[in-house]
Chains A and B, each alone.
Chain A
């Protein structure tokens, strides 16, 4: 195959002729003339004539992307800028598909993303849905999510980092690599830190194997900003910087209701008011982690609810088992004046 004119799929005529049936692509740039062109083997949809029309709405329905959007709207409260950007990306991919039907060249868009936002604003949740969405739009082959942190990428001694990072990248091929708290990869204070090596491999793969995986970096806004300042190459390879806004009080309340409903509970009307009051107080305190704090508050309310039922010492009805009362929330430290200096997140 190394430029040998005799290398075809036919048997060689003479005894002296070197026999080698070529590997189609084992040596890039030396395409064997005799090999069947794989482009012909998989024709795909025929190229449309220039005057044809493509029904984008039908294309959209075929991908089933609307289901993803519907569940996105139903399950995720707020996050308007995030949802807008996701819709834009979906529209771009759909239009690209339509363009491809006409045989128009479409360069594959870069979809590496960076999610910044406070704790508990739904970065991981959105990443998981993103994998599903990109899979449905045909951008990702598999659509699985590999979620890693610094520990999974950076090794402990010289020569340990590269294989470890490559291993993770291989696992993420065809899907989405989600690097949580990505700024830990780079430690300014230690220039011999192995994180830099990991970043270099990531950059290389993000650039050269764009069709194989999508990388999403996530972290808190200010620290990601300083991370990008130290790694300008990383910043420029990421097309979408999406900022997750903090939830408003009303959104937090909606999130709480969704979580309670998902656990098979409900609030009494008074408990609803107490919950709002709780959120107001909790939001003003230190280390408030948005939806995560709401989840924890509900978990603790369930604990108090359970021990309250045990203390009643009588048979309980189904309604009692599923209803959270104001006193279940009142028991929180947040309501105890003066003890607010050590709130649990």
Chain B
């Protein structure tokens, strides 16, 4: 099941040229970029691990893309996303966030029903991949 989180996630995955253009758009707006990765893409897992520090004072997308590629190389079977932070007063939040890599195989989520008192049913979603321990979740690697 294809994870849809962040911008562009319903589109076909972006090519590096398209990613470069998006990064350049963020940088032209003065939004510093950062790279994050995770092997637990639950929708409520907001805080992914940081790949290095956020990159301030950049003007050209090549530097950010180099970090994205370094992260892809080190974490070939992780989800990787790129965040651009809009620091302007009144916003001070993520201005753009999109996935730049996903594992080759995404098993998806199962719906779990928990029977509760008075025949109530409580639902939760559980990623199949999360049954494996951290670091062996996607294709035995991610």
Interface residues in chain A, defined as those with a beta carbon under 8 Å from any beta carbon in chain B: 1-2, 4, 9, 18-27, 35, 38, 141-142, 144, 163, 167, 169-171, 173-175, 209, 212-213
Contact B55 A23 (CB under 8 A): no
Contact B105 A18 (CB under 8 A): yes
Q: How far is the CB of B13 from chain A (nearest CB, A)?
A: 5
Q: How far is the CB of A37 from chain B (nearest CB, A)?
A: 10
Tell whether A20 pairs with B106 under 8 Å between CB atoms, given A26-B72, A170-B66, A173-B58: yes
* Count, chain B residues at interface, CB 8 A: 29
Please, which residue of chain B has its CB at the minimum distance from the CB of A36? B15
Please, which residue of chain B has its CB at the minimum distance from the CB of A19? B2
Answer yes or no: B59 CB below 8 A from chain A CBs. yes
Answer yes or no: B12 CB below 8 A from chain A CBs. yes
Please, which residue of chain A has its CB at the minimum distance from the CB of B11? A21
**B42-50, B82-90, B96-104, B121-129: which lies at the A interface?**
B96-104
Contact B57 A19 (CB under 8 A): no
Contact A26 B17 (CB under 8 A): no
Docked CA distance A144–B17 (Å): 22
Q: How far is the CB of A2 from chain B (nearest CB, A)?
A: 6
B-chain residues with CB within 8 Å of residue A209 when the two chains form the complex: 62, 66
Answer yes or no: B130 CB below 8 A from chain A CBs. no
Docked CA distance A144–B59 (Å): 8
A-chain residues with CB within 8 Å of residue B101 when the two chains form the complex: 23, 26
Docked CA distance A127–B38 (Å): 43
B-chain residues with CB within 8 Å of residue A163 when the two chains form the complex: 52
Contact A24 B15 (CB under 8 A): yes
Contact A1 B104 (CB under 8 A): yes
Contact B60 A142 (CB under 8 A): yes
B-chain residues with CB within 8 Å of residue A167 when the two chains form the complex: 55
Contact of B12 among A9, A27, A171, A175 (CB under 8 A): A9
